Structure 1
Amino acid sequence: MAQSSRTVRGGELATSDDAPTRVIPRPRRRIPVTARPTAVPSPRADVLFWMLPALVAAALGGWRLTAAALWADELATWGAVRLSWEQLWRLSAAVDAVLTPYYAMMKLYTAVAGTSTAALRLPALAATVATSLVVTALGRRLGGRDTGLAAGLLFAVVPVTSRYAQEARPYALAMFAAALAVLCLIRLLDDPGPGRAAAYSSALALAALSHPLSALLLLAGHALAVALRQVRVGAAAWYGTAAWIIAAVPGGAAALILVGLGYRSRGQIGWIEHLTLSGFDAVPDGLFLTGAVGGIVIGLAVLAVRRTDEHVCVAAAAFTPLLVLLAADQVMPIWVTRYVLVAVPALAALAAAAMLRFGRTQAVVALALTVALGVSTHLRIREPDGHGEDSARIASVIGPRWRPGDVVVFADSHRSIPWAARDIYQRYLPAPRPPDVLRVSAQRTDGRFLATECPAASCLGNPPRVWVIRVDKPSDPFQDMAAGKRQLLREHYQTAQRWTYALLTIILVERKPSAAG
């Protein structure tokens, strides 16, 4: 009987009469990385993933929410919501048309919540917390759970986020709408459908009603992202492009209409000056309130850009508003960093994606460095003058010093914020106080933004002392006043004492001896 042996070939047992017995091992299958089983996060971990950025945003936004006094723009909100509906519509027809939707929303809200500083700022805080959730979702689309968590946390801790979470203006709401619109755009291009188109259209419309100029800048970024996708993908992208065009029409139309109405009162932004070439390096500092943090976030955001649909959409939303407004400013002065805050959520998401590419440890270090560099700014913006105007000081200066017979006057021709001084007087100087003797009708009535005063200060009388309240620091206390009022005060009064704070100067003038005689 012939000697036989067995071999395994290709994993099967084979025999041979002459060959020695040997076993050929079966090749081990290599499991691709993408096919390896992944751990399913527990429900508790999933809740933490979403809630941690929101909790941090809420904690920082609520920390000393009322410490900084209301500044000129916030006082404009306070003044508008106290008007009757008829007066608000008349005011909107003349000035502030772009902010009419925000004022209307705030008027409905304050009818229930009141007009305290905390009440006026709470809607912005709520919008900021909601934005942190959307930024977390954006980060997750760019790089998974870790990137989402890092994006939400980064957005929450940069000082500019909590600064505008404590601002009674529409910028926080505009940031929320902008972040939501980018997320909805990604979903729409990924799988076009009526529901996703409606969601995108609603988010863009909310952005337009919050701040129409910012919405147009954001829409320019979306248009660029869709165009780049069309070029890259070709005919297969036409369905998504068409869906975007249709969905963008309502929000874009609303933004254009409001900007057109606002253009009629463009004198209100006459104080804006061209951003010079030497001022370009101050953009990160202006946008993030500290140049170091701004440099880190913008630099990382640039490194994160990739050619995927998600990255292109987020990058276009991050950089296009800045570049378009900078370009427009070369034609007419319009650059104000508040107008491009809609780019901050997208910048945070991109920066987080770059951080995680270097590894988790490096991402934690970068996040910690951002926090450390922003601490001093967080403290500064929560000082009494943290919003740039030390409005509440008026009470401690005039309150204990005024006497019966004193009156108060205002520089009502100031080129930037002429309403602010009178608002500070009404908001922060409780009665009894020196009377506003020149006023005939209040601010924001009869379609006029400024109060109506008696001509040539004819109702001034002969007071021994006059308190002049200003929002600048001129050497001449009567600068920027109507000609008749300026002439009368210069002729009969001289400076006795002056107090100067951030965007608040209080000057006490006394009647000249010759005039008194």
Structure 2
Amino acid sequence: MVVLPPILLTLALGLWGIRRRNSMWGDEAVTCEVAHRSAAQIWRTIQHVDLVHGVYYLLMHGLFAVWDGGLLTLRLPSVVAMSLAAGGVALLGRRLAGPRAGLLAGLALPAIPLVQQYTQEGRSYAIVCALVTWSTCLLLDAADRSSWRRWAGYAVLLWGAVMVHELAALVIPAHGTALVLAERPRALIRAWATAAGCVVAGALPLIVLSERQAGQVAWIGWPDALQLLGLTAMALAGLWCARHQVRAGELSRLSALALPLLLLPGLLLLAAAVVKPLFVDRYVLYCAVGFALLLGAELDRLWGSRPLPRWAGWVALAAVLAALAPVSLYLRTPQSRHDDATAVGRAVRQAARPGDGLLFIPTGHRVWVSAHLQDTRGLTDLALARDPVSSDTLDGVELPAQDIPARMRAFPRIVVVHDAADEPPDDDPRETAKSSTLRDDFHACDRTAEVTGARITAYCRNS
């Protein structure tokens, strides 16, 4: 009974508005396009780019092969995974603080806005969250009844999480810290260290090889203020929930586990930003597991200090969900994401005429139309030398900068997909060549279509 309500609530919230008004943002478009390649093509692609997501792409390839349900197939794995994570949180809470605390913790997880966002995302983060949660369940099982089989199960599940996304490895020091805070015997900590060492050794090839593709994350700068604020608020709220134990100088079993889960992965990622910025909140989405456990335990304490009828708890849950309704509604709109690849494709189709040229400024925006090639059928991609599939890339390979202007001038009309107006220009020579040729030899001959994250304009060649 403790596990089922959180699973059902997460499923309900995940299925509510899952199509997001038939929108799809750029990263999801990449998932959709790469997953539709053959397994051999995916293997060749991840040797050049996105190795960190390779296991996830192969998983989605298998799912699309079984059932190509478009947005539903793209997002349902995340919904199911987060539902399983909520069930795992409920089990952790029950084991560490009792049935009511477990139930409240499991119900708290899907109510967190960040969790709701990535429950409906066609990317790997919800799956990582589920694997981290259940590896934590196995950690407690192995810590209470140590055996090589239990430690092996823990290692396998945690290794799976790291293989789906390597930054899941940041939970390893959190697990170790939890054992130390819980004052577990040294022999048990050595057993954990052996299991954790096996996880690191098994994932080391992925970590080393993906470092060669570090240029992919060059776009990440110093932590985004909004993301940082969200995780900071969650961390402070979690510390507030644990305040009674911290003041007393001793932590409950739940807090000894939940606080490192909540705090350490994000802090380690922030510390790494001094050398190499990598802080993005979704990379440590599983920190929400620690917060949900602390919140569930605190709500249980408040409930126990003031006994209430059972119906009052459900009324309180309904009130919380009502308070979160505006955020939940927003997360199910296209505007809640950085861009909308579906809207871009639709705008291109509406602006274009058969035989027009097509131009992407910058080239990375080619992924916006990669999942729905019918939107650009009949158009010539002017800067493209090799398409993404044949070149085993995500964006394709473009012509040299000096060859692009002549190709553009050969077309009387070009549909251009630009960045949003507030984005800084790209100083790559190819992008400079495109922009300068448009400015010198073309003029806008149709109004600009503004969609989430992009602008689409038709240009006509000067007479």
**What TM-score, normalized to structure 1?**
0.79
C-alpha distance in 2, partners of 1:70/1:294?
A: 30
- Pairing of 1:100-119 with structure 2 (within 5 A): 100-114=54-68, 116-119=70-73
Within the alignment, does 1:202 sit opposite 2:156 as a pair? yes
Judge which range, 466-475 or 333-342, deviates more: 466-475
Partner of 1:335: 279
Q: CA–CA distance in 1 between the matches of 2:347 and 2:376?
A: 14
Evaluate the alpha carbon distance shift between residue 152 and residue 273 of structure 1 in structure 2; reply closer, same or farther with a 3 A threshold.
Answer: same
Q: Deviation at 1:353?
A: 0.4
How do 1:26-425 and structure 2 match up within 5 A? 46=1, 49-68=2-21, 69-114=23-68, 116-213=70-167, 215-229=168-182, 232=183, 237-275=185-223, 279=225, 283-285=228-230, 287=231, 296=237, 299-300=240-241, 307-359=251-303, 361=308, 367-368=317-318, 370-413=320-363, 418=364, 420-424=365-369
Contact map agreement 2:28 2:122 (CA 8 A) in 1: yes
Secondary structure of the equivalent of 1:94?
A: coil
* Residue 367 (structure 1) shift: 4.5
CA shift for structure 1 position 304: 6.5
User: How far 1:295 moved relative to its partner?
Assistant: 6.2
**In the aligned structure 2, how far is the partner of 1:488 from the partner of 1:106?**
40
Q: Greater CA radius of gyration, 1 or 2?
A: 1
1:298 and 1:79 map into 2 onto residues whose CA distance is: 42
* Partner secondary structure for residue 99 of structure 1: helix
Alignment of 1:436-515 (within 5 A): 436-455=381-400, 456-457=403-404, 458-460=406-408, 462-473=410-421, 481-496=430-445, 497-512=447-462
**RMSD over aligned Cα atoms:** 2.8
| CA distance in structure 1 between the aligned counterparts of 2:340 and 2:155, rounded to whole angstroms | 40
Q: 1:79 to 1:397 in 2, by over 3 A?
A: closer
Q: Which amino acid aligns with 2:440?
A: E
Matching of residue 430 in structure 1 with residue 371 in structure 2: no
Match of 1:16 in 2: none
The DSSP-based 3-state class of the residue aligned with 1:410 is: strand
The structure where helix makes up a greater share of residues is: 2
Instruction: List runs of 5+ in structure 2 lacking aligned partners.
Output: none
The structural deviation recorded for 1:477 is 8.7
- Out of 244-253 and 52-61, give the one that drifted further: 244-253
C-alpha separation between the residues in 2 aligned to 1:228 and 1:174? 25
Please report how far the alpha carbon of residue 396 of structure 1 lies from its aligned counterpart in structure 2 after TM superposition: 4.6
Cα 1:315–1:364, aligned 2, differ >3 Å: closer, same or farther? farther
Deviates most, 443-452 or 149-158: 443-452
Deviation at 1:99, TM superposition (A): 1.1
**Aligned AA (2:276):** M
Preserved CA contact (<8 Å) 2:238 2:262: no
Q: Spell out, residue by residue over 1:108-149, the C-alpha distance to the aligned partner (whole angstroms, 9 max, x if none).
A: 121112261111111111101111110100111222111111
Residues 50 and 149 in structure 1, CA contact (< 8 A), matched pair in contact too: yes
The one-letter code of the counterpart of 1:495 is: A
- 2 CA distance for matches of 1:106 and 1:367? 34
Answer 1 or 2: higher relative contact order, Cα 8 Å, separation at least 6: 2
Per-residue CA deviations over 1:47-102 (Å, capped at 9, x if unaligned) read xx321111110000001111252211111111211222232222211111111111
In 1: Cα distance, 2:52 partner to 2:377 partner: 36
Distance 1:119 1:370 in 2: 30
**Structure 1 letter corresponding to 2:202:** A
Change in 2 beyond 3 A, CA 1:344/1:112: same
Consecutive unaligned residues of structure 1, counting only runs of 5 or more, are 1-45
User: Contact conserved, 1:54 with 1:156, CA < 8 A, in 2?
Assistant: no
TM-score (normalizing by structure 2): 0.88
- Secondary structure class of the residue paired with 1:385: helix
- Quick one: distance in 2 between partners of 1:172 and 1:303? 31
What amino acid is aligned across from residue 241 of structure 2 in structure 1?
L
Name whichever of 490-499 and 73-82 sits farther off.
490-499
- Which residue does the alignment assign to 1:20? none
Q: Which amino acid aligns with 1:509?
A: Y
Percent identity for Structure 1 against Structure 2: 27
Look up the equivalent residue of 1:465 and give its one-letter code.
R
Please state whether the residue corresponding to 1:70 is helix, strand or coil.
Answer: coil
Contact 1:274 1:333 in 2 (8 A): yes
